[in-house]
Amino acid sequence: MGTEMFEAMRNSILDGDEELAKELAESALHENLDLTSVMNDGFLRGIQEMGELYQAGEYFLPELVCAADAMKAALEILTPALKSSSNHAGMSKGQVVLATVAGDVHDIGKKIVAAMLTAGGYDVYDLGVDVPVEKIVEIVAERKPDVLGLSALLTTTMQEQKNTIALLENRGLRNQVKVIVGGAPVSSRWAELIHADGYSDNAIDAVKLVTRLISER
């Protein structure tokens, strides 16, 4: 039964069917399905395949936007449950601040990273998209998170990851927080170049990375 349901979740994203995605997310909650599998084997597969199909020129912008809306609808339903899941049990493993950098509005991948971190027991504070460097640094100073995660999907906005690290250094905050970077054009080489503490190319590894970095603190 699980497999069919996961397949339906994947398809609901590929078909951009927001209503169905919501219904399936609600059914997953009612049926007490493992939410990490619901994400990884269901909805996440759909949005990843959509990205690939778009890049291959097989799907176009309208389909993409509908898929993004369906994914967001499913995430809205699942996130509160992910937060209160037994994994979380009211005891946060640490705080992660996430942002998509200035000039960049891509947030589907970052929301998935946020959902997986939440499921993994972390307290996630998501600043949203197109967040100016100053704002990110201000929030780091205020909230003192264990980890700051910066997402960038455009080659033109990757530079803002570097600028954020530079401003953290400039304000004397760099040693207080581990900085991780991600997003399609980002690489481990880039992370090294800008002196980030880590890079991951997907949401699952982002959780492992955060766990490792926090354990090293």
* Beta strands, E only, the chain: 95-100, 123-126, 147-151, 178-182, 198-199
Q: Two tokens at 215?
A: 């354990």
Would you count residue 25 as binding ligand B1M (CB under 6 A)? no
Residue type, 199: Y
Q: Two tokens at 206?
A: 């982002």
Candidate list 154, 166, 167, 173; residue touching ligand B1M; CB under 6 A? 154
Cα dihedral value 97, 206, 115, 194, nearest 10: 40
Would you count residue 108 as binding ligand B1M (CB under 6 A)? yes
Would you count residue 121 as binding ligand B1M (CB under 6 A)? no
Would you count residue 153 as binding ligand B1M (CB under 6 A)? yes
Candidate list 8, 64, 166, 167; residue touching ligand B1M; CB under 6 A? 64
Candidate list 8, 103, 141, 187; residue touching ligand B1M; CB under 6 A? 103
Q: Which is nearer to ligand B1M, 90 or 154 (CB)?
A: 154
CA distance 90 to 92: 6
Residues contacting ligand B1M: total by CB under 6 A: 37
Candidate list 150, 177, 191, 196; residue touching ligand B1M; CB under 6 A? 150
Q: Which is nearer to ligand B1M, 26 or 63 (CB)?
A: 63
Which residues make beta-bridge pairs with 95?
123
Environment class of 142 (CB within 10 Å of its CB; exposed 0-12, middle 13-18, buried 19+): exposed
Q: Pick out residues in 191-210 that bind ligand B1M (CB under 6 A).
A: 200-203, 206
Which window, 19-27, 137-145, 153-161, 166-174, contacts ligand B1M (CB under 6 A)? 153-161
User: DSSP secondary structure string, 63-84?
Assistant: HHHHHHHHHHHHHHHHHHHHHT
- 3 state SS of 97: strand
**Could you count the other beta carbons within 10 Å of the beta carbon of residue 88?**
18
Q: Which residues bind ligand B1M (CB under 6 A)?
A: 47-48, 51, 54-55, 61, 64-65, 68, 103-110, 112-113, 149-151, 153-156, 180-185, 200-203, 206
